[in-house]
Structure 1
C-alpha cells in the first residue's frame, strides 16, 4: 500500500528514520547515515544478483 506521496511502508519508515537521524548531533548523524547506506547498498546488491540469475 502507498501513501499520498507515493511511498510504501518501507519507504515511509526510511523517511521517518532519516528525519530522526537528521535531528541528531553531527557525529552521531554520520554514523547512523553510514548504517543506512550500508543497509540500502546490501538490499540493492542482493536485488541485482536475483535478477541476473
Structure 2
C-alpha cells in the first residue's frame, strides 16, 4: 500500500468516527449525511485514480 493510500484511509477512518459520534450525540442531520457522502465519494475517487507516471 502506497503512503498516499494509507493517508487517505486514515482520513476516511477519522471522518467515519467523527460522523458516528455526531450521529450518536447530536442525532442524524442532513449536514452530517452530506459530509459523510462527500468524504466517501472523494476518498473513493482518490483511491481509484491512476498513479502519475514520472
Q: Which has the higher contact order (CA 8 A, sep 6+)?
A: 2
TM-score, length-scaled by structure 1: 0.48
